[in-house]
Each structure stands twice: as C-alpha cells, then as structure tokens.
Copies of this chain bind each other. A is one copy, B any other.
Amino acid sequence: MADDKKVTPVSKLGEFGLIEHLTKGFTTVNPGTIKAVGDDAAIIDNKAKLTVVSTDLLIEGIHFDLMYMPLKHLGYKSVIVNLSDIYAMNAEPKQITVSIAISSRFTVEALEELYEGIKLACHNYKVDLIGGDTTSSLTGLVISITAIGEAMPEDIVYRNGAKVGDLICVSGDLGSAYLGLKILEREKRIYLEHPDVQPELEDAPYLIGRQLKPEARKDVIQYFKEQGLKPTAMMDLSDGLSSDIMHICKQSGTGCEINESQVPISEEAYNMAIKFNLDPITCALNGGEDYELLFTITPEDETKVANDENFSIIGQITEADKGYMLVTKGGNRHKLTAQGWNHFGG
C-alpha cells in the first residue's frame, strides 16, 4: 500500500467499533427487514411469524483450541452459541446452517465427531440442520453457523427497550466458563512441558463443563411464556457482563448500577478464582462465554423473577448521565470497565 494512503489498524476500532464502522453506510430497502445489524439476531417479517436469523464464525486458534476442546464438544458448543442468540431475542430457534473449512490434517472420522456434537445439539434443542458448505482451508478449522428462529412480532425483545428504574437480571451464574478455560489452559501448559503428567481436571467438573459444553437457556424463554413475562431488553452473555450490559444501556440510552453482592458466582468458581489468585467478581464481570441471559424487567414484574432460583436481580437501570457503575460489597462506587472478549486484542 502506498505511503500516502491512510491506514488505521483494526485494533484501534476494536471488534464492535469495526462492525459499526463498516456497516454504518448501509440502509435497508425492504419493508420486511424489521431489524438489521445491531442486535443478537436480525428480524425479517414473513407475514404472521417473524423469521429470526443469527450467524457466528468460529476460527481455530482464536475461538477454540483443539488441544483441550474435543471435536464433539466443539460441534455442540458451536451450535449452542448461535441458538443462544436466538433465545436472546425471546424467539425459538428452528433451523441452522453449518459451513466448515478444514485443513488436510482432518480425517472423515474427526469430522464425524464434530458433526456428532452438532447433531446432539440439534436433537436437544429441536433444531433442523438445513444447509451449509464444506471446503478446505490452508491452516486450521473454520466453523460458520447461521441460526434461524421464529417468534410472534409482539414477543420479540430487543436490546434497546430498557427504561430507567427497570431491574437488571441474569439467569444462572457467571464466571464459571472463564474459570473452566483457565484450568484447561493450565493443564495444556503443564502437558506441553511434562507430557507424562496426568491432567488434573477431576477437581472442577462443573467449571470445565461450563466451558466445554455450555447450554442455551431455552428453559428461561419457556418460563417467560408461562409467566406472561416479557423483559424490556435482553441479550445473551457471551462477552462478559460488563461489556454486555453496556450494549443494552448504550442502545437504550440509559446508565446502570450493578451490585457486586448480587452477582451470582458458583462456589466452585469462587474457590477456583481464589486458587488462581484472581478476583471472583472480576471473573464474573469480564469472563465471558457463560451464555446466560441478561435482561431487564419493569419493577412490577419483580416477583416473577425474584421467586425463581434460576434468576438473580443484580442491579437497576439508571439515567444515562449516571454512567455504568458497580457498587462494591463495601458500598464504594466504581465505573464498570468492559474487558470483554476482544478478538482483535485492541
């Protein structure tokens, strides 16, 4: 490239900035395009029911390490990650497409394992594989999945509906998947240095399971239906609570206040964080890959959430000028910082 041409490194924009930057000049022309770039999934009006579409691209060495991720688990997780985006719209996934690119080191049997995991996820979540592509790659494995779901128009929940005073809720617990990853990375290092040492995975099956075989919260969406509860905003926790709540606030034009003491952390995660000399709340706020649902509700709906052990109410939506705050156990107020998964390292 010529010297006089402007060059901006991608890291300067970061992942979210880059996609925003690249797509800002696009406008939509079809009346059926209800929601384009900017949410967990896109919405297309196909008469009575809306079609919900979400897509993900997973690259070996960036999103997964085959040294500790068995191919069957990888196949399962790749699907789950996409279904989670559909549920995060309060919609039901119905179909997926799966494309893969593989280098010559992959055998048919290895790919069968991958597809075993994909098949199991399809079965567990009643989703149909409806297409895809296989091709070769010069280096590692690439997996591209598009998930398609449906919902009645009135049921869809976007990221931009949070209002001041709404309660911020999460399903499950946070940080476990991240600590599972830390264990797997530690064992990989040990293995590379001492191939004869047996890996020590038995002490944390829950954490490792959360990393290797996450589930999407289909049950939460069903619970909402049963309870007649519609969140005001929702997304799935893939990058980490700090980063993800900011998406909701930014799109809703609000601030937020998260109470450290109410952020759900499993006992296993808490103890493992201490063992790794990490702050448990930092793991929960920035760990990512939990695939839990982060949502906001009106105060009137509080009892529907407070009485169910699946959920934690962790804070509330505030006015925009209050910023994004964390209230510590000691009562101090800190600015939340997004240290979520940034695949550009920016």
Contact = CB atoms under 8 A, between A and B. Distances in A.
Interface in A24-56: 25-26, 28-30, 32-33, 35-37, 41-42, 44, 46-49, 51, 53-56
Interface string A1-27: 100011111101101001101110110
Given A144-B57, A150-B46, A132 B344 contact: no
Given A33-B94, A53-B131, A344 B107 contact: no
A251 interface: no
A346 to B, nearest CB: 10
A132 B46 contact: no
Nearest to A33: B128
A130 interface: yes
Contacts of A310: none
A322 interface: no
Interface string A134-154: 111111101010101010000
A102 B46 contact: no
A36 B109 contact: no
A80 to B, nearest CB: 16
Contacts of A102: 10
A104 interface: yes
Given A18-B108, A54-B131, A144-B144, A136 B343 contact: yes
A94 B43 CA distance: 12
Contact of A137 (B35, B59, B129): B59
A9 B107 CA distance: 5
A51 B48 contact: no
A335 interface: no
A46 to B, nearest CB: 3
Contacts of A309: none
B111 A18 contact: yes
A186 interface: no
Nearest to A26: B129
A106 interface: yes
B146 A97 contact: yes
A206 interface: no
A287 B28 CA distance: 35
A200 interface: no
Nearest to A27: B128
Contact of A46 (B22, B49, B133): B49
6 contacts: A8-B108, A26-B122, A30-B126, A35-B130, A51-B148, A55-B133
Given A15-B135, A146-B146, 11 more contacts: A7-B109, A22-B115, A23-B115, A26-B119, A42-B97, A51-B51, A53-B130, A56-B99, A57-B135, A62-B135, A144-B144
